[in-house]
Copies of this chain bind each other. A is one copy, B any other.
Amino acid sequence: MTSSEYINNTNNDQCPAQSLLKLLSGKWKPEVFRLAMNGPLRFSQLLQQLKGSNKQSLSVVLKELEEQGILRKEILQKKPLHIAYHLTEKGQTFIPVFKQLEELQAGINEIS
């Protein structure tokens, strides 16, 4: 699947939830989303917080999240170059459902 197909959900989904689940699934995406939810972050800051990750993987994830319209790059400073990633409007629409997932997990942890 090309990235444009990915963005436009042109795969014949019967299931509406699937395309959204796909946007946030993967090894690092949920964590990056959670961090971005609490404010814009720079590449190196993200990298520090993603224990076990590395810049190459982070690079891929950020690019995908950008292509999906969830994150946007912002140049904080030209010299020296500082860039921040922050949630787009579309990205922000995911916040409630993401928080609900967190609460649900908390509930599951209590029981088991």
Using CB atoms and an 8 Å cutoff, list the residues of chain A in contact with chain B: 12, 14-22, 24-25, 30-31, 34, 49, 51-52, 90, 93-94, 96-98, 100-102, 104-109
Contact = CB atoms under 8 A, between A and B. Distances in A.
A102 B21 contact: no
A10 to B, nearest CB: 12
B105 A97 contact: no
Query: Which 9 pairs from chain A and chain B are nearest by CB?
Result: A25-B25, A17-B101, A18-B30, A16-B105, A15-B31, A16-B102, A97-B100, A15-B30, A20-B101
Give the dominant DSSP class at A's interface.
Answer: helix
A91 to B, nearest CB: 11
A108 B96 contact: no
A17 B94 CA distance: 12
A88 to B, nearest CB: 12
A97 to B, nearest CB: 5
Contacts of A107: 93
Contacts of A31: 14-15, 18
- Give the residue among A22, A30, A90, A93 with the most B Cβ atoms within 10 A: A30
